[in-house]
Amino acid sequence: MIAALRRAGAGVLWYLREVSGEADYDRYLARHAREHPDAPPITRREFEKRRMDRAQEHPQSRCC
Amino acid sequence: MSTETPEAPDSPPSSPTPDRGSRFTVRSALVWGAVAVVGAVAWGVIALSRGESISAIWLVVAALGSYAIAYRFYARFIAKKVLEVDDTRATPAERLDNGTDFQPMDRRVLFGHHFAAIAGAGPLVGPVLAAQMGYLPGTIWIIVGVIFAGAVQDMVVLFFSMRRDGRSLGQMARDEIGPVGGVAALIGVFTIMIILLAVLALVVVNALAKSPWGTFSIAMTIPIAIFMGFYLRMIRPGRVMETSLIGVALLLLAIVAGGWVQESSWAPAFTLSPQALVIALVIYGFAASVLPVWMLLAPRDYLSTFMKVGTIVLLALGVILSAPMMKTPALTEFASSGKGPVFAGALFPFVFITIACGALSGFHALIASGTTPKLIQKESQVRMVGYGAMLTESFVAVMALIAASVLDPGLYFAMNAPAGVLGPTVETASAAVANFGFTITPEALTAAAAAVQESTLVARTGGAPTLAVGMSEIFAGVFGGAALKAFWYHFAIMFEALFILTTVDAGTRVGRYMLQDTLGNVHKPFRDVNWKPGLWITSAVVVGAWGYFLWAGVNDPLGGINQLFPLFGIANQLLAAIALTVCTTLLIKTGRARYAWVTAVPLAWDVAVTLTASWQKVFSSDPTLGFFAQRARYSAALERGEVLAPAKDIDQMGTVVVNSTVDGVLSIVFALLVIIVVVNAMFVWYRALTSDEPLGSSEAPAVESRIVAPAGLIATPAEKRAMAAAGSRE
């Protein structure tokens, strides 16, 4: 019962982190480590800044 | 990996992924039989109860049962037989994965993103207005429309865009139909965006006018969003959840504080006339368009998405737990007479125009051909993301219809008829409602306004206040009782205004980029979205365009919603016609002509609806319905120096003449755009069907997929085995 609740909670947290884009940096780190193991990754601050710059250039429309 | 078996490349599409559920077992026959029976019983109750009110639960059950059957059978048929989705083929997200625009995203996360992008205020507003004809026509259209038209459109557009590396609807129209179709689609997209923004902003203005509580709460969302923006940028980069939690807490505080402001000496400062609100919105829209996205748009988007999903879940729980009775009649006389005060015109075609989002919304085609196709992991997931998200939006529309229908119909008409018809006081409003054939006493009107702590509910058009009263009724029945009614009302107003303003922000920006791109053909620097003069000029043009219609709507003596909402509906359905035409053309050109009816039938219906509505709006001799008949009536009176009610003076007479001319011309333009696109496409269909060799394909080349992932929400046992074999985890 407790284990099931804990699993459900972890699932909800995973979903919210994914949907909100909070997990994007983790994914970037994993990818970076795989593809460019020698170069240091950019900081979270820099990563988020670039993400916003991209959003600036590709606004997503919201429907009605 | 399961997809790397030697025979995979030339084996038939369905063989490597196990064909889920193709064997119809006894168990699944029983389950689906039961779903069908329960749904049919609910439909039976809705259809057969005449004169007695029924519980809203029946509508919920009928909707969910129909969606389940449609998703299981029709959507599956479209995916497998019509589109022939092929999971051995890599999606653009896999082939072009660059970690940003293109990357495979978990299907459930993508579903969330797609749903948040398609669902906004539309499915909440349209059904509320359509309730003037009773709940039955709206309910049937929302459910049948989504199953056979809306969800089909979203899924098929998503599929074809995915096969073309995420091309936009406009690009596909140009590629498949020709340059004329492409230009018509572009004009269509731009004009619908302007009308959409104006109508949505009008809904906000009508909800906030003369309400210091609502105005204060909404005004506070701007500093809250800016605070969140700085917090995310400077203090805790990327901590979206934490920031959103703080934001939501501040937002709830702002709603509560609105109640205090209303009682305080600040109240007059936040009691704004509709005209003042229009000016505030226009300035806000311009600022939001030129400011960097991290400062205002992005944090506001987080806030509104969390609020949106939270409130929708709350509303679903409220409806199910409180099981309210439907007070609106199933069918009112306005369905056939076409003389309804909320919007003019008979059931056909105007219910199908008024309810766009939730049943069939062309605007979704822009989302389904934008970001989503670049993120989808497996081809088979178009069913869950495209069809599934639209079914969810349809369910939101059903709940909005329920919230409007649990209100006393007398109150409904007192809130939704134009101010000019209802007159200035509760007494005149009560008399006007009696004229429509419903009753509400002046005392009851005053009491209803007092219950939600508003100065008046008379002529609070636009749908949002009605929905808010309905929701406060439902919520108060479950959480908190009558004491919290005013809080729930302002909570509902806040949540609608919040995501309408998010749409206004994003829409203004998207419109601005479209304009910059087009002007870039004439003068190159415009292309650069960060070029300051271009940014200011195009922002001003877009804001000015929707601001004009908003201003006209607010000052229209005939009621802005009454005049503009049909135009918005026609524009949205026009876009659906373009999207369905592109889909049908692609089905024919890609050798799927025998299944072209899947999109051709909804297209035929949509064209019939759009053109009939346009025809009536242009040529009807009834001045409440036809824009030019209205223009003729008022300009003739103006020449004689007369003032016709509901106009109060010569100036207002002039306003009516100008507005009806502009609206009439727009109706003509919209209808012509539909005709151009569809006729142009028919030539393409003819060529494709009669040509001996197949026309050139615009599909991206097939590359073998290495990703193993489930197609639907829950992985089937076979999918789990395939994933385990491939070493991938959920």
Distance, CA of B634 to chain centre: 33
Instruction: Please report residues of A whose CB lies closer than 8 A to that of B120.
Output: 62-64
The C-alpha torsion from B304 through B310 and B312 to B318, rounded to 10°, is: -140
Task: Count CA within 13 A, CB hemisphere, residue B547.
Answer: 19
Chain B, residues 42-81, CB within 8 A of chain A, namely none
Cβ of B244 and A20 within 8 Å?
A: yes
Give backbone dihedrals phi and psi of B590, rounded to 5 degrees, phi first: -100, 20
User: Torsion-angle region of residue B384: left (phi > 0), alpha (psi -120 to 50) or beta?
Assistant: alpha
Print the SS3 string covering B569-584: HHHHHHHHHHHHHHHH
Three-state DSSP at A21 gives coil
- Rounded Cα gap, residues B612 and B456, in angstroms: 37
DSSP B523: S
B623-682 confidence digits (pLDDT tens): 999 999 999 999 999 999 999 988 999 999 999 999 999 999 999 999 999 899 999 999
Q: For B425-473, how does the pLDDT look when each residue is reduced to its tens digit (9 = 90+)?
A: 999 999 999 999 999 999 999 999 999 999 999 999 999 999 999 999 9
Tokens 């939501």 appear where? B248
| Partner A contacted by B649 (CB < 8 A) | no
Whole-number pLDDT of residue B730: 73
Determine the Cα–Cα distance for residues B156 and B153; give it in Å rounded to an integer: 5
Which letter, b or e, does each residue of B119-148 get, where b requires 16 or more Cβ atoms within 10 Å of its Cβ?
Answer: bbbbbbbbbbbbbbbbbbbbbbbbbebbbb
| B293–A20 CB contact, under 8 Å | no
H helix intervals, B8-91: 26-48, 57-69, 75-77
Q: Across the interface, which of A16, A27, A63 has its CB nearest the CB of B363?
A: A63
Q: What are phi and psi of B486, to 5 degrees?
A: -65, -40
Q: B237, A48: Cβ pair inside 8 Å?
A: yes
CB contacts, 8 Å: B238 with chain A:
21-22, 24-25, 44, 47-48
How far is B266 from B263, CA to CA, in rounded Å?
Answer: 8
CA nearest neighbour of B271 among B202, B185, B187, B208: B208
Residues in chain B within 8 Å Cβ distance of A62: 117, 120, 301, 499, 502-503, 506-507
Which residues, given as ranges, of chain B have pLDDT below 70? Answer: 1-23
Q: Where exactly are the structural domains of chain B?
A: 17-210+325-436+452-462+505-690
Rounded alpha-carbon distances, angstroms, from residue B177 to A29, B574, B669, B679: 44, 16, 20, 10
Q: How far apart are CA B538 and CA B661, in angstroms?
A: 26
**Rounded to an integer, what distance in angstroms lies between the CA atom of residue B496 and that of residue B491?**
9
Average pLDDT over every residue of A23-44: 93
Size of interface A-B (CB pairs under 8 A): 109
The dihedrals phi and psi of A22, each to the nearest 5 degrees, come to: -65, -30
Q: Which of A4, A33, A53 is nearest to B529 (CA)?
A: A53
What confidence score (pLDDT) does residue A48 get? 93
Q: Contact, B124 vs B496, CB < 8 A?
A: yes
B371 vs A22, A28, A60: nearest CB: A60
Which residue type does B353 have? I
Collect all residues of chain A within an 8 Å Cβ-Cβ radius of residue B99.
27-28, 31
Domain boundaries, chain A: 2-57
B:342-381 residues touching chain A, CB 8 A cutoff = 356-357, 361, 363-364, 366-367, 370-371
Query: DSSP characters for B410-437?
Result: HHHHHHHS-HHHH-SSHHHHHHHHHHHT
Q: Which residues contact B620 (CB under 8 A, 6 or more apart)?
A: B626, B629
User: Shortest CA distance to A64 belongs to which of B496, B306, B370, B219?
Assistant: B496
B468 sits in which H/E element: helix B464-478
CB B154 within 8 A of CB B365: yes
Facing B109 at nearest CB: one of A18, A28, A55: A18
| B residues 146-175 lying closer than 8 A (beta carbon) to A | none
Residues of chain B neighbouring A45 (CB-CB closer than 8 A): 237
CA distance B93 to A29: 19
Among residues B718, B343, B376, which one has the least CA distance to residue B561?
Answer: B343
Q: Across the interface, do B292 and A56 touch by the CB < 8 Å criterion?
A: yes
Q: Tell me how far apart the alpha carbons of residues B426 and B431 are, in angstroms, rounded to a whole number.
A: 9
Residue B589's contacts (CB-CB under 8 Å, 6 or more residues apart) are B176, B684, B688, B694, B695, B697
What crossing angle do the helices spanning B409-416 and B442-451 adopt, rounded to 10°? Answer: 80
Segment 539-568 of chain B within 8 Å of chain A by CB: none
Residue B3 phi/psi, 5-degree rounding, is -85, 0
**Contact yes or no for B503 and A64 at CB 8 A:** yes
Q: Do B292 and A59 touch (CB under 8 A)?
A: no
Contacts with A, B 90-129, CB within 8 Å: 99-101, 106, 108-109, 112-113, 117-123, 125
Q: SS3 for B97?
A: coil
Tell me, what's the pLDDT at B22?
53
Contacts of A42 in chain B (CB under 8 A): none
User: Among all residues of chain A, which has the CA nearest to that of B230?
Assistant: A49
Residue B80 token pair: 């497998």
> What amino acid occupies position B62?
A
Backbone angles phi, psi at A44, to 5 degrees: -60, -40
Closest A-chain CA to B197: A64
pLDDT of residue B444: 96
CB B662 within 8 A of CB B668: no
Name the minimum distance, in Å, from the CA of B113 to any CA of chain A. Answer: 7
State the Cα–Cα distance between residues B463 and B416, nearest whole angstrom. Answer: 7
**Integer Cα distance of B342 and B432 in angstroms:** 13
Q: How many residues does chain B have?
A: 730
Taking each helix axis from N to C end, the angle separating B212-230 and B179-208, rounded to the nearest 10 degrees, works out to 120
ipTM exceeding 0.85, yes/no = yes
Interface residues of chain A, partner chain B, Cβ below 8 Å: 15-22, 24-25, 27-28, 31, 44-45, 47-49, 52, 54-64
Closest Cα of chain A to B420: distance in Å? 27
CB-based contact B138:B130 (threshold 8 Å): yes
Contacts of B503 in chain A (CB under 8 A): 62-64
Q: How far apart are CA B313 and CA B608, in angstroms?
A: 35
Sign of the CA dihedral with B443 first, then B448, B453, and B457 last: negative
Please give the helix or strand (H or E) that residue A35 lies within, else none. helix A24-35
**Enclosing H/E stretch for B542:** helix B532-555
Query: Cα separation of B334 and B134, whole Å?
Result: 9
Task: Find the residue in B nearest to A17 (Cα).
Answer: B241
Residue A31 to residue B298, Cβ atoms within 8 A: no
Residue B704, beta-bridge partner list? B89
Residues of chain B contacting A31 with CB distance shorter than 8 Å: 99
What is d(CA B207, CA B215) in angstroms, rounded to the nearest whole number? 9
Question: What span, in angstroms and rounded, lies between the C-alpha atoms of B166 and B382?
Answer: 13
Which amino acid is it at B6? P
| Chain mean position to CA B650 | 37
- Given an 8 Å threshold on Cβ–Cβ distance, is A63 in contact with B233? no
Q: pLDDT value at position B23?
A: 62
